């Protein structure tokens, strides 16, 4: 029998965004791999499991170590990823690393979905861009600008490669209307969640938290307003 790997989306932070299926796959695994933030929504399920806690120094080696350790067993390994594992979570690398395993990818609620719900926009009317993965950053900046020029909303995952303020300045300098509405969604579904409404011009002056999704909203999407609710659930994440 082959080992099993579950690549599990755990939602944006709070336990009530963790699906039943995700809980089940984590509960039946004997080993769990993930970063601190990935483990947070599932922390009540981790007792007695072998934990591989990734960080900025060890994340490659540790993933390799876990994959090697169980490759010739019938173990079940849960690889946890914040939000949805099919959005900016290194999915291709994980599929490759665990290729001898039977793999199930378990969808989760993405920070992108939560930001879209707060901004009251359709994701299919937006472009989604991440600055979290390596690759051609210039190309992604042009893609973002082109999407806005074509009347799409923008959902941007901030990352080391391009901070939101720099992205906003680039967009304004390259022909995008600085008065477009922007929702800055910091640390969604975490106890210190912070949501700021501004404009594209205003975003150029804001130093956002690294865990932020930016929604740039086209006027046609604004009709329903930006009224929103607070998703943070301090009880489950403390
Ligand atoms: C490595 S990517 C992972 C995205 C994740 N798979 C998802 O579906 O949300 C990390 C980026 O996702 C966004 N992100 C993830 N969780 C977030 C949260 N709780 N609040 C705000 N942004 C979040 C931020 O842009 C962060 O820099």
Mean pLDDT, consecutive 10-residue stretches, the chain (238 aa), reads 96 96 98 97 97 96 97 97 97 96 98 98 97 84 96 93 93 97 97 97 95 94 43 40
Question: Quick one: pLDDT at residue 238?
Answer: 34
Q: Please state, in angstroms and rounded to a whole number, the distance separating the CA atoms of residues 7 and 54.
A: 15
- Ligand 1 lining (C-beta closer than 6 Å): 12-13, 81-84, 87-89, 110-112, 132, 157-159, 185, 187-190, 210-213
Atom 2 of ligand 1, residue of closest alpha carbon: 88
Can you tell me which atom of ligand 1 is nearest the CA of 156?
25
Residues whose CB falls within 8 Å of the CB of residue 191, separated by 6 or more in sequence, listed in order: 232, 233, 234, 237, 238
Question: Quick one: pLDDT at residue 229?
Answer: 42
Question: Quick one: pLDDT at residue 226?
Answer: 42
- Rounded to the nearest angstrom, the distance between the alpha carbon of 212 and the centre of ligand 1 is 7
Question: Quick one: pLDDT at residue 156?
Answer: 97
- Rounded to the nearest angstrom, the distance between the alpha carbon of 2 and the centre of ligand 1 is 32
Atom 7 of ligand 1, residue of closest alpha carbon: 83
Task: Parse the chain into domains and list their residue ranges.
Answer: 4-106, 111-221
- Rounded to the nearest angstrom, the distance between the alpha carbon of 37 and the centre of ligand 1 is 10
Domain 4-106 has CATH 3.40.50.720: no
- Rounded to the nearest angstrom, the distance between the alpha carbon of 189 and the centre of ligand 1 is 11
Question: Quick one: pLDDT at residue 187?
Answer: 97
Distance set, CA 187 to CA 6, 48, 76, 106, 205 (Å): 25, 29, 30, 22, 19
Phi first, then psi, for residue 95 (nearest 5°) are: -60, -35
- Rounded to the nearest angstrom, the distance between the alpha carbon of 184 and the centre of ligand 1 is 13
**CATH class of the region 111-221:** alpha beta
Catalogue the E-assigned strands of the chain.
4-9, 31-35, 50-54, 76-81, 102-106, 126-130, 153-157, 181-186, 194-199, 212-217
């Amino acid at each position: 029998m082959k080992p099993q790997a579950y690549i599990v989306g755990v939602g944006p932070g709070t336990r009530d965004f963790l699906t039943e299926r995700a809980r089940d796959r984590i509960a039946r695994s004997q080993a769990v791999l993930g970063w601190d933030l990935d483990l947070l929504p599932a922390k009540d399920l981790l007792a007695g499991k072998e934990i591989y806690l990734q960080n900025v120094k060890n994340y490659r080696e540790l993933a390799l170590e876990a994959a090697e350790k169980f490759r010739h067993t019938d173990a079940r390994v849960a690889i946890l990823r914040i939000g949805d594992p099919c959005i900016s979570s290194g999915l291709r690398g994980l599929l490759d690393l665990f290729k001898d395993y039977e793999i199930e990818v378990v969808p989760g609620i993405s920070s992108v979905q939560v930001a879209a719900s707060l901004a009251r926009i359709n994701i299919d009317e937006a472009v989604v861009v991440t600055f979290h993965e390596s690759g051609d950053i210039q190309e992604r900046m042009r893609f973002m600008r082109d999407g806005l020029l074509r009347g799409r909303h923008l959902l941007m995952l901030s990352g080391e490669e391009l901070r939101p303020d720099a992205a906003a300045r680039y967009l304004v300098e390259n022909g995008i209307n600085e008065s477009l509405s922007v929702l800055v969604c910091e640390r969604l579904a975490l106890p210190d969640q912070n949501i700021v409404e501004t404009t594209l011009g205003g975003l150029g002056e804001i130093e956002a938290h690294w865990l932020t999704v930016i929604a740039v909203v086209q006027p046609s999407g604004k009709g329903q307003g930006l009224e929103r609710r607070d998703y943070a659930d301090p009880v489950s994440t403390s």
